[in-house]
Amino acid sequence: MAKKETKENGGTIKIQYYKSMIGYPKKQKTIVKSLGITKLNQIVERADNPSMRGIVEKVPHLLRIVE
């Protein structure tokens, strides 16, 4: 049986929660909390892959990618 090679991008992105989610739909609040973000202006590091970038694109008015 051949071994599966797992390629890591090795990269991470920093995601900042910069605007309050008060007054936004529950689905958007759930997206922010699923990233492990609890406080305003908090920055978390996550793997740089299409799924993480897609999550940030769902709520660009609440989250941004910090360079």
pLDDT of the residue at 23: 97
| Domain 24-66 CATH (choose: 3.40.50.720, 3.40.50.300, 3.30.420.40, 3.30.1390.20) | 3.30.1390.20
Confidence of residue 67 (pLDDT cuts 50, 70, 90): confident
Report how far residue 43's alpha carbon sits from residue 14's, in angstroms, rounded to the nearest whole number: 6
Beta strands in the chain (DSSP E): 12-17, 43-47, 63-66
pLDDT of the residue at 4: 43
pTM, rounded to two decimals? 0.80
User: pLDDT tens across 7-42, in order?
Assistant: 455 699 999 999 999 999 999 999 999 999 999 999
pLDDT of the residue at 5: 44
pLDDT of the residue at 9: 53
